[in-house]
Structure 1
């Protein structure tokens, strides 16, 4: 028996409707960003890394080394393959979201050219650097590409975009996407790759890109059946319209 479903209707592009539909995720992200921003303003740069570094353990190392990959291209590939079975349009724009993040964060990194934590501590607070629980040399980054955090931007863009596009179960999807994005952001500080300011800026940038891409995807051929279908459903048929029941007194 072929798969069938009713005609797909593009979502409303009214900002109010969008915010209401994604309120759980948006509230969680905004609260997290406000907390991050407060800590950035009230603490000296690097204090958060020193505090996090004190809790380093082999178990946490494994968790966050794997977790940071949730913001890398491999995560986009997995999401792409899943979304292709859901809606081709969404899969395409998920990739475009990642590309936009890569270009924008790359340009910002070149413009600001801020020292990574390893370089910053070694050049300015060498005693603090020696007291850190450092990772092995292959995992150390001594460059000048700290601001903003590309991984944080990538993760918040990807999982925000996924959350915006999945209609049900909304609360569960919102929680999962929020936790995945937050995991990547925290991992960048745990691994001594980024400061809290970098992560905060990256997360905010990723959220903005995801919102823009969500609305942009429905500006291009919104009624195109090929784009609105998933590959798994490529042979499906439309369900016939529902006929109203006829009562005995309506018959002649």
Structure 2
């Protein structure tokens, strides 16, 4: 097993992913300074399209459990060590999402706009259940997507295009939550940050076990050196 990498080396080896993430954070931070809460929801509400509705309606599921099962199956061919981290990654996301939502107790867009008396002004996506209540902040889907796809980017040997593709997937899941009027931009922003931090912590944690069989895989019998 390789020695545990420093954070500096890990970020350098994955500079394409974290470079894109840093740019998104910077741009997102600037947007947060100028956006009034709810502007982003009405922006997409006034720009609905059939292709957009269909795409985001289904792509948002890439931040749900089936994506974790697909990742688990794929990583079994890369290395058991990486694959077995996936259930713990999902569990960590679920627990932290639940606890943070309960702590902040921010209204979902539906509840927020209903209190303002303007919910009926939204154009919603057909067939999508509109969540309500005080469990909006942060976005669990965004946290889940950024945790999963950041972790996959850290695990894959070929970094550039795979990393950018994985980042795009996570970003689109986050965007889908705003498009579908399930979350505000601030929810997605914090969820993305938390997801990346969870992935980094889980990646470091998977170095701790010394069991040799974890370095094997279904494909080679040995797998990648973790």
Q: TM-score, normalised by structure 2?
A: 0.94
* Alignment correspondent of 1:218: 207
The yes-or-no answer on 1:111 pairing with 2:103 is yes
Aligned to 1:96: 88
Tell me, yes or no, if the aligned pair for 1:37 and 1:197 is still in contact at 8 Å.
Answer: no
| Match of residue 74, structure 1, among 56, 61, 66 | 66
Please give the secondary structure, in 1, of the residue aligned with 2:219. helix
Moved over 4 A (4+): none
Q: 1:138 to 1:166 in 2, by over 3 A?
A: closer
**CA–CA separation in structure 2 for the residues paired with 1:172 and 1:209:** 23
Which secondary structure does the structure 1 equivalent of 2:189 belong to?
helix
Residue in 1 that maps onto 2:121: 131
Q: Is the 8 A contact 2:89 2:147 kept in 1?
A: yes
* Aligned match of 1:162: 152
Once the two structures are TM-superposed, the CA of residue 137 in structure 1 deviates from its matched residue by 7.3
Whole-Å separation in 2 of the counterparts to 1:138 and 1:90: 34
The 3-state SS of whatever aligns with 2:137 is coil
Does structure 1 residue 22 correspond to structure 2 residue 14? Answer: yes
**CA contact under 8 A between 2:76 and 2:218: conserved in structure 1?**
yes
The alpha carbon displacement at 1:10 in A equals 2.4
| 1:63 paired residue among 55, 73, 76 | 55
Which runs of no fewer than 5 residues in structure 2 stay unpaired? none
1:152 alignment counterpart: 142
Please give the alpha-carbon distance, in whole angstroms, between the structure 1 residues aligned to 2:146 and 2:3: 22
**Residue of structure 2 in register with 1:196 after alignment:** 185
Equivalent residue, structure 2, for 1:231: 218
Question: Which of 160, 163, 173 in structure 2 is aligned with 1:184?
Answer: 173
- 1:40: which partner in 2? 32
Q: Distance in 2 between matches of 1:115 and 1:213?
A: 30
Structure 1: gaps spanning 5 or more residues:
1-8, 238-252
Task: Give the length in aligned residue pairs.
Answer: 223
TM-score, normalised relative to structure 1? 0.84
* CA-atom RMSD in angstroms: 1.6
Moved more, 88-97 or 193-202: 88-97
Give yes or no for contact 2:128–2:180 (8 Å, CA) kept in 1. Answer: no
The 8 Å contact of residues 53 and 125 in structure 2, kept in 1 or not, is answered as no
- Are 2:79 and 2:215, in contact at CA under 8 Å, matched by a contact in 1? yes
Paired residue for 1:250? Answer: none
Task: Determine the structure 2 residue equivalent to 1:241.
Answer: none
**Could you tell me how far apart the structure 2 residues matched to 1:106 and 1:55 are?**
32
